[in-house]
């Protein structure tokens, strides 16, 4: 999982926004619309990044389609130290 986090959050375009999304859902689970508003990003951009994070088991969805909230996956939580290291290096 550590390699996946480094790749998804730093090795690809959009990593900075994925870090912002991940940190935000770690604070409190939110749906895509709430994330777009909170982070001042386009809804479609947020959806794209959520799909990338879900495809790589970094976040998981809870609930039905539109109102579903996102939160860090158990694998991501188990490797949260890596996320914090990545955030520190990005600052």
Q: Of 70, 85, 78, 74, nearest to 27 (Cα)?
A: 70
Q: What's the pLDDT at 55?
A: 97
Q: Is the dihedral of CA 47, 48, 49, 54 positive or negative?
A: positive
In this structure, are residues 25 and 71 in contact, taking their beta carbons and an 8 Å threshold? yes
Query: Where does 1-86 sit in CATH, by number?
Result: 1.10.10.10
Token pair belonging to 32:
């895509």
Specify the DSSP class assigned to residue 12.
Answer: S
14 contact partners, CB below 8 Å, separation of at least 6: 48, 49, 52
Indicate if the pLDDT at residue 65 is higher than 80: no
What's the rounded mean pLDDT across residues 11-16? 90
Question: What is the pTM assigned to this prediction?
Answer: 0.92
């Amino acid at each position: 999982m550590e390699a996946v986090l480094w790749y998804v959050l730093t090795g690809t375009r959009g990593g900075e926004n994925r870090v912002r999304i991940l940190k935000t859902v770690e604070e409190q689970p939110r749906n895509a619309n709430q994330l777009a508003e909170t982070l001042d990003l386009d809804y479609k951009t947020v959806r794209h990044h959520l799909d990338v994070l879900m495809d790589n088991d970094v976040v998981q969805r809870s609930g039905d389609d539109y109102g579903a909230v996102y939160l860090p996956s158990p694998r991501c939580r188990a490797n949260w130290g890596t996320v914090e290291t990545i955030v520190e290096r990005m600052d």
